[in-house]
Amino acid sequence: MSVVISDRDLQAAQISEAEMLREIAVMLFQQERFTLAQASRFARMNQLAFQRLLASRQIPLHYDIAELREDFKSLQENNWR
């Protein structure tokens, strides 16, 4: 699915495309609709940077065994052994 937000709408909201992606990612993470990995990918940020963003907003991490497995798989796929 693609969503198109015009530059005019972004300008009216006084937000950049990158900021919009981060805001959506944070919102979906808070609602537990995105895992940390999914949210950071959506925001086009590495996980550590996304965690810092959450911490700066005092948003707690919700991290369970399924997310640990997902992170482990992601690390393996990127040759982080």
What distance in Å separates the CA atoms of residue 11 and residue 59, rounded to the nearest whole number?
27
> pTM score, two decimals?
0.74
**Average pLDDT over the chain, rounded to whole?**
90
Crossing angle for the helix pair 17-30 and 47-56, nearest 10 degrees? 80
Is pLDDT at 65 greater than 90 in this prediction?
no
pLDDT tens-digit map of 12-45: 999 999 999 999 999 999 999 998 989 999 999 9
Calculate what percentage of the chain has a pLDDT beyond 90: 65
Is pLDDT at 4 greater than 90 in this prediction?
yes
